[in-house]
Structure 1
Amino acid sequence: MTAPDLDPVDRIDRLAAAERLAVFGAFHPLPEDGAPPGTATLLLFGPREPGFWAHVTAAPEWRDGAADPLDRWSKRVLGTLAATLGGQALFPSDGPPYWPFTTWALRSGRAWTSPVRLLVHDVAGLMVSFRGAIALGRALALPPARSASPCESCAGRPCLAACPPGALGGGGYDLAACHGFLDRAAGRDCLSAGCLVRRACPLSRAYGRLPEQSAYHMRQFHR
């Protein structure tokens, strides 16, 4: 690997902040990580809260009536940032084959597998989502990663008991039970404000994500 570039990740984070995005992780990929050939640093981007949803829904993609406004906004914004940095923008919707965003999140040292098997992030908690990634051909100096998951010190692990139908817990995810619950009147709270399991996470509660954004994603999920 080449010597680290002294261009810091926090400078990129400040550039992303103009579009209410944040660097949610970065690492130096190994060949088995599935990054594009020649990638020396891979950066993951997620919503910067508070303020992300108001910013996105004011964008042209949200007003033109075309499908997939959030993905189209992400591709425009991260594509522009990637061009500025001399990198390649990558997105979860690319494919098939799809980029291994879950693997990348775990490799970043800022996300872990939670007690309910979902990813948990050091800032976003169980509300973590990735709008995209940028692959750079130069090695950036990276901040040290956290040594342990925040779940290890989470009192009571409320996520484990938060799902009313028991569709999501320590034993994994029962997709059919989740959709069945959302079809009933009892599931309206999850549909209108977001998954109760994700909302139970202390980090999620402190993250600042609006119920309107969670409702949008729940509608996309439960079509």
Structure 2
Amino acid sequence: MDSSRFEILIGEALSAHGLIVRGGFNFGPEENAPQGPSGIPARAVVVVGQAGASAWPHFLAWRERQPKELRDPLDTWAREVIGAVAAQLGARAVSPSDRPFVPFQQWAMRAEGLRASPLGLLMHPRYGLWHGYRGALLFDREIEVAAGEEAVHLCDACVEKPCLKSCPVGAYSLAGFDYAGCLGHVRSPTGRPCMTTGCFDRNACPNGAAYRYPKDMQVFHMAAFAA
């Protein structure tokens, strides 16, 4: 099949679930690539994710049909739908939470040429901090999905750094993320505003405002973090 047509097919299969191709690349001969669908080292990877809340309505519709006590529902949904796309395309699906872990953030940075923001989240020149990676497709053959070139890093031009000044407990700083401090705060009564409106630091970033997650989606992610 023509490579450009194959890329279109991947995009069409993912779009049915609100997901998009987030770039891809071919593994070099010296790289320690994970197993592809046939069990041999994969030759190529396509990173899968969402821009803004594009996948959220699809997830919510699926969630209504699942048991209320289901653990890790978003991961479960992503594995299910990306796994179905993989089966359709002759690929192997992998998830960021699969063990043994694959270098997902490195793949994402390489696939789109992105760099990390002060919050650790990758900064996208269009989506800002409002995007995500839900899985990847591994192929036994090389494919022509262009790897990302170095994107404009919006954080370099940001002097004020509001993302480091809005957290009530200063969880984020240039020194890193105070995980324990953040978790302790959001689990306490004083952390309720964070739980009901989303991370103050993330929301303070002005980039990608058109892709900002809706309130219920932010609440969902905060609840998952606090749990």
Equivalent residue runs for 1:97-176 within 5 Å: 97-143=100-146, 145-148=148-151, 149-154=153-158, 156-176=160-180
What does residue 203 of structure 1 align with?
A: 207
Percent of pairs identical after alignment?
33
184 and 19 in structure 1: CA distance in 2 versus 1, 3 angstrom threshold: same
Long gaps (5+) in structure 2: none
TM-superposed deviation, 1:89 = 0.3
CA RMSD of aligned residues (A): 2.5
Mean CA deviation greater in 72-81 or 114-123: 114-123
Equivalent residue for 1:217, pick from 198, 208, 221: 221
Describe the SS at the equivalent of 1:213: helix
Describe the SS at the equivalent of 1:47: strand
Q: Supply the distance in 2 between the matched residues of 1:132 and 1:190 (Cα, whole angstroms).
A: 27
Equivalent residue for 1:16, pick from 14, 17, 26: 14
Describe the SS at the equivalent of 1:135: strand
Paired amino acid for 1:176: A
94 and 62 in structure 1: CA distance in 2 versus 1, 3 angstrom threshold: farther
What does residue 44 of structure 1 align with?
A: 47
TM-superposed deviation, 1:155 = 5.5
TM-superposed deviation, 1:74 = 1.1
2:31 maps to 1:28: no
59 and 136 in structure 1: CA distance in 2 versus 1, 3 angstrom threshold: same
Paired amino acid for 1:86: G
Describe the SS at the equivalent of 1:44: strand
190 and 127 in structure 1: CA distance in 2 versus 1, 3 angstrom threshold: farther
Describe the SS at the equivalent of 2:138: strand
Q: Supply the distance in 1 between the matched residues of 2:197 and 2:25 (Cα, whole angstroms).
A: 33
Long gaps (5+) in structure 1: none
Paired amino acid for 1:193: T
TM-superposed deviation, 1:168 = 0.9
**In the comparison of the two structures, how many residue pairs are matched?**
219
The two structures have a TM-score, normalised by structure 1, of: 0.84
196 and 134 in structure 1: CA distance in 2 versus 1, 3 angstrom threshold: same
Tell me if structure 2 keeps the 8 A contact 1:25–1:44.
yes
TM-superposed deviation, 1:131 = 1.2
TM-superposed deviation, 1:77 = 0.6
What does residue 181 of structure 2 align with?
A: 177
